[in-house]
Amino acid sequence: MRYPKPSWSNSDLELYRANVRRFVESEIKPNQKKWAEQQHVDRNTWLKAGELGLLLADVPDEYGGSGGDFTHMAVLFEELAYAGDRAFGVHVHAIAAHYILNHGTEAQKQKYLPKMATGEMIGAIAMSEPGAGSDLQGIRTSAVKQGDQYVINGSKIFISNGYLADLIVVVTKTDPNAGSKGVSLLIVETRNCEGFKVGRILEKLGQKGQDTCELFFDNVKVPTDNLLGAEGLGFMQLMVELPYERLMLGVGALAVVEAAIELTLEYTKERKAFGRTIFEFQNTRFKMAELKSQAVVARAFIDTCVEKLVKGELDTTTASIAKLHLSELECKVIDECLQFFGGYGYMLEYPIAQMYADARVQRIYGGSSEIMKEIIARSL
Ligand SMILES: Cc1cc2nc3c(=O)[nH]c(=O)nc-3n(C[C@H](O)[C@H](O)[C@H](O)COP(=O)(O)OP(=O)(O)OC[C@H]3O[C@@H](n4cnc5c(N)ncnc54)[C@H](O)[C@@H]3O)c2cc1C
């Protein structure tokens, strides 16, 4: 497959990409079927990724990270997407780590980030609840301060890495009457945590190797030291981290778009009907030309966003545009590509069918397309 070199790349990053690709080819690609069957990634894979310094590539060395920047993470997200991975939850792991990096105390950073970098601790972020997803102000999970502890009660749903997570950044209400100002983030360590229960791993349309779970908190006690920042800052912290999360999704979505186009070109140039290849039909060539144009334009936009994020200049609106545009484009491109595979496009053994199932959620999680439009509209 021939993929474009991003404008932000350089010779060091291309060397790094070659290492990442080797890891993805040997460790991620061959395990997709197994992980889909068992509904989670092997812990050992996390440790191997940690050994290679891939998990927290953009976290400073002093906290166990690799001292790179977002471009290193972008390389990982792209390579995972090119390889058809939709199981390895490094995205939410990195998000959880960034909450600690950007909002945690020095002691929290020293305690958790080195273990997250090695893969000894897997991270998750728990915002959504059965009664509140898009409208996070409506969450009901409570954290009540009692002495030097918080007592957490409530439940979360659709939590990626939920089954494997050793550390979860949990969005709670410390003051139920203060609206968004009553939201606080608490770090919960799940091992030997009394009152914490992981529910079933949810059956999904796609991304079957990803352990998306329900979580239950029944009088879970955590030290007040586990509060991120200060009480009531949770909503603001969520807003600060959104550009990182949304661009991450945009970067992965674009890589899937590029992969779908390459796969389809390969297939249509081989498959024949009416004495010629499918690619030779004008309909195919025009449609593929359209999709390719959209991918190239999107690449220019995403690359600019990556450069802005690295400089600390990516604003929420632009990040939301990236998330909206790329997740919509991903679903559209895959759907149009799948058509060229005919009946084979509907068979799960063909990667395009798997992509179709895996992609649909991109328009829902990380803030749905409708919520992205709300955010963008506010800036108009
Ligand atoms: C596979 C998967 C993994 C996930 N991983 C995580 C995770 O790791 N952590 C986590 O916290 N959550 C996670 N989620 C949850 C995800 O973020 C939510 O599903 C998403 O935010 C939507 O919330 P909801 O499902 O409650 O839908 P709702 O909020 O009930 O929305 C239903 C529909 O109404 C629309 N809608 C809502 N409000 C508005 C509005 N103001 N204007 C117009 N339309 C609106 C929505 O766009 C949507 O189409 C995951 C979800 C899935 C499916």
What CATH code is carried by the domain that includes residue 367?
A: 1.20.140.10
Residues 100 and 136 placed together within one structural domain of the fold: no
- Model pTM? 0.97
- 175: CA distance to ligand 1 center in Å? 23
Residues 6+ apart with CB under 8 A from 333: 257, 260, 261, 291, 294, 295
Residues 251 and 269 placed together within one structural domain of the fold: yes
Domain endpoint, select from 207, 232, 257? 232
Dihedral angle computed from the Cα positions of residues 42, 48, 51 and 56, in that order, rounded to the nearest 10 degrees: -50
User: How confident is the model at residue 345, as a pLDDT?
Assistant: 98
CA–CA gap between residue 367 and residue 96 (Å, rounded):
16
Q: Is 206 helix (H, G, I), strand (E, B) or coil?
A: coil
- Closest C-alpha among 64, 13, 104, 18 to residue 310: 13
48: domain range? 11-118
User: How confident is the model at residue 343, as a pLDDT?
Assistant: 98
CATH of the domain at 211: 2.40.110.10
Within a domain: residue 372? Answer: yes
Q: Which two tokens stand for residue 4?
A: 């474009």
- Helix axes 234-268 and 351-359, enclosed angle (nearest 10): 160
Residues 160 and 209 placed together within one structural domain of the fold: yes
Domain endpoint, select from 84, 103, 118? 118
Mean pLDDT in consecutive groups of 10 residues from the start of the chain, 380 residues:
91 97 98 98 98 98 98 98 96 98 98 98 98 94 98 98 98 96 98 96 98 98 98 96 95 98 98 98 98 98 98 96 98 98 97 98 97 98
User: How confident is the model at residue 205, as a pLDDT?
Assistant: 97
Residues 163 and 277 placed together within one structural domain of the fold: no
Residues 261 and 280 placed together within one structural domain of the fold: yes
**Residue 324: in which H helix or E strand, if any?**
helix 316-340
Within a domain: residue 174? Answer: yes
User: How confident is the model at residue 2, as a pLDDT?
Assistant: 78
Q: How many domains does the chain have?
A: 3
- What share of residues in the chain are helix, strand, coil (percent, to 5)? 55, 15, 30
Model confidence pLDDT, tens digit, residues 136-186: 999 999 999 999 999 999 999 999 999 999 999 999 999 999 999 999 999
Across the chain, mean pLDDT equals 97
Instruction: Please state, in angstroms and as integers, the Cα–Cα distance from residue 41 to each residue in 48, 212, 297, 373, following that order.
Output: 12, 11, 34, 33
Tokens 């908190």 belong to residue: 217
Contact 268, 340 (CB under 8 A): yes
Residues 227 and 240 placed together within one structural domain of the fold: no
Within a domain: residue 6? Answer: no
Residues 172 and 198 placed together within one structural domain of the fold: yes
- 364: CA distance to ligand 1 center in Å? 6
Ligand 1 contact, 228 CB (< 6 A): no
Residue nearest to atom 27 of ligand 1 (CA): 133
Q: Which residues are catalytic?
A: 245
Within a domain: residue 243? Answer: yes
Residues 355 and 260 placed together within one structural domain of the fold: yes
Q: Which two tokens stand for residue 150?
A: 């918080």
CA–CA gap between residue 215 and residue 198 (Å, rounded):
5
Within a domain: residue 3? Answer: no
Residues 249 and 287 placed together within one structural domain of the fold: yes
Q: Is 242 helix (H, G, I), strand (E, B) or coil?
A: helix
Within a domain: residue 5? Answer: no
Residue nearest to atom 6 of ligand 1 (CA): 159
Q: What are the residues facing 151 on neighbouring strands? A: 144, 221
Atom in ligand 1 nearest the alpha carbon of residue 366: 17
